[in-house]
Amino acid sequence: MSKVLLLLTGGTISMVQDSRTGALRPADERTFRNSVPELNDVDVDIIAFAPLLDSSDVNPECWAKMATIVYDHYDAYDGFVIAHGTDTMSYSASALSFMLENLQKPVVFTGSQIPVGVLRSDAKENLLTAIEIAGAKDEEGESIVPEVTIYFEDRLFRGNRTTKRNAEHFSAFNSYNYPPLAKAGVHITYQPHLVHYSDPKMPLVLHVECDTNVALIKLFPGITEPVVRSVLATPGLRGVALETFGSGNAPTAEWLTRLLADAVQRGIVIVSKTQCSTGSVEMGRYETSVGLMQAGVLSGYDITTEALVTKLMYLFGECGDDTEKVKTLLQQNLCGEMTLD
């Protein structure tokens, strides 16, 4: 039987209903175990964040804590499950995909839309399947999906390709630009040809430094010069994720191109990613993206906003003042986060 470490960070999945007041509150480890008695039938140890967090409060220090726990327990377990709130799960999964370089074991994020302690909850289902996936091995005894993933409802996705798409339905996540790595029905059907494998000769490397001097600008018709200027004038700003229209287009207003070019000249790294859920930036396809190219804005291809923001933080944390290295690595597919052609 595979041995799995379950890291409880918080979110709806770790909540129970108070029998007296009816209010939802975070469960402690014992109450959580009692809510999922099936955990006694699998080889799972639990580490719980204290306090458990709503994922709106998860930040880069929390990512570092999660990644460090995986790193410190790496040899003792076959796989890892991280129970996490759904709201920012895609950011955390993206961040950990960069922080755990050369990962050879599964790290499966999961959560739920209804608390574990409520009768109709999706928590048990999600958790138990995530645990099975984290421990799943092929005939050679190798992990089937040695990546950072999100398992939710009946799909396993590469974590850095996901976006939370639904606050109501059980299928809360989607991966618009990359197919699921597995589907769970009566059987779990894996798609090994879609899995990103790290070089087995390389050891796991932990990166915990993140530089949060990044900004996200979403373009919209009518966006004004003072708004863009003030964001780009933010003291210490190093990187910008620029959400552009369609295949990477922007208003052709002279002031916008000038402000972006000036920011690039000052060493700020700007990356264009499309506001569309599906598809990729194609710089130069329309005249309305030529100005961005000339200003020195980079293409984010088909990356998600979550993966781009966390990749910028990770690269600035890792590369320090070497902006050219950051730019080079932004144009590379580091762990399956984007498709280059």
Active site residues: 12
- Provide Rg for the chain, Cα atoms: 21
- Counting contacts by CB under 6 A, is residue 86 touching ligand ASP? yes
Binding characters for ligand ASP, 216-255, by CB under 6 A (x = yes): ----------------------------------------
Beta carbon nearer to ligand ASP, 165 or 207 = 165
Q: Which of 55, 160, 174, 305 binds ligand ASP (CB under 6 A)?
A: 55
Show Cβ contacts of residue 107 under 8 Å, excluding neighbours closer than 6 positions. 70, 79, 80, 82, 96, 100, 134, 147, 148, 149, 159
The stretch among 81-89, 123-131, 174-182, 200-208 that binds ligand ASP (CB under 6 A) is 81-89
Taking the complex as a whole, how short is the minimal distance between the CB of residue 154 and ligand ASP, in angstroms? Answer: 17
Binding characters for ligand ASP, 89-128, by CB under 6 A (x = yes): ----------------------x-x---------------
Nearest residue to ligand ASP, by Cβ distance, number only:
85
The amino acid at 38: E
The stretch among 4-12, 185-193, 280-288, 302-310 that binds ligand ASP (CB under 6 A) is 4-12
Q: Which of 54, 101, 125, 154 binds ligand ASP (CB under 6 A)?
A: 54
Cα separation, 9 vs 202, whole angstroms:
29
Residues contacting ligand ASP: total by CB under 6 A: 11
* Whether 68 contacts 29, CB under 8 Å: no
Taking the complex as a whole, how short is the minimal distance between the CB of residue 113 and ligand ASP, in angstroms? Answer: 6
Beta carbon nearer to ligand ASP, 85 or 135 = 85
Taking the complex as a whole, how short is the minimal distance between the CB of residue 179 and ligand ASP, in angstroms? Answer: 24
Q: Which of 12, 90, 272, 280 binds ligand ASP (CB under 6 A)?
A: 12
Cα separation, 202 vs 209, whole angstroms:
21
Q: Which of 6, 11, 106, 272 binds ligand ASP (CB under 6 A)?
A: 11
| Residues binding ligand ASP (CB under 6 A) | 10-12, 54-56, 85-87, 111, 113
